[in-house]
Chains A and B, each alone.
Chain A
Amino acid sequence: MALENTLIQEKLTQKFGNSVTNFATMRDIFTLEVNKDKVHEVIQFLKDDEELNFHFLTDLAGIHYPDNNVDEQFALTYQLHNWIENTRIRIKTFLNGENPEVQTITDLFLCSNWMEREAWDFYGIKFTGHPQLKRILNMDEMVSHPMRKEFPMEDGGRTDKDDRFFGRTPVNC
């Protein structure tokens, strides 16, 4: 029997109350939002609970929302997968824009090590308790976090590519 979304929701709300919100099914994936202080606990619960058993971390992605209010300018999504029931779940958590910080989950999933380093490298999200939080794909000397939206993709001084002539502005490109 497949793992029902309602069961996951019930268990999580019972355990975490108001820290887990916005349950929704986005196409084939059940999603929820978690308060950033509870991320580690929720993931640990999802992993260790015998019925839920989300034992595989598929992916971890940082996201930048510069237009949100300051407490929600960064987001992290964790995708967990239960292979036995073949159920996926996606957890989203919002982080502060000035000091994005969240507890590491490297103690739960070894593979989150590089994923968290990638999020640090590209978004500057700090993972407290991470054993080796340093840049991974970019060079160590780099000072900026290039996947943030304010970081331009190309040199702003270029004159040979003027997108305005094609009806595009920085906003609608």
Chain B
Amino acid sequence: MSALQAELAHLLSHEARLLDESRFAEWIDLYTPDCLYWMPAWREDGTLTQDPDTELSMIFYRGRRNLEDRVKRLNSGHSVASNAMTRVTHMVTNVILDEDDNATARTRAAFLVNVYDARTSLTHNFFGSYRHAFRRDGEAWKISEKIIHLQNEVIPTMLDIYSI
């Protein structure tokens, strides 16, 4: 494993940890202001939608500002779906470094998120793959893209950004 691969794998683990611990302000700080955050939907033919401008996504945001809105809602106290804070644990593994130069890099990884819903006492799993893109920001890397391919597409009631 190259040093860069290890560094980016560590960053993915760090992102997962921040979500697990509901440290959303720090989580948002990992992203560039113009970041892409995208989870495509599934077409009926069993393929993922590819063009977010002509096809539906589960979540599609361009701009960190949108993630800030999501977090605002989570913390607002005005969303019954967000009141009983769900407990989550992310596993992120199989990290592959796809491309890199001095300024940018791309990785693929597998994820499994175990979700315990305190409201219903039910446990759910969400799993699939991540495609991250990174941009160098001084000494650190920032996430410029996160694309989430969720394999188990039928959502049990709801799914929010901390469960993927």
Indicate whether A and B interact. no
Where the two chains meet, the residues of B that have a C-beta atom closer than 8 Å to any C-beta of A are none
Where the two chains meet, the residues of A that have a C-beta atom closer than 8 Å to any C-beta of B are none
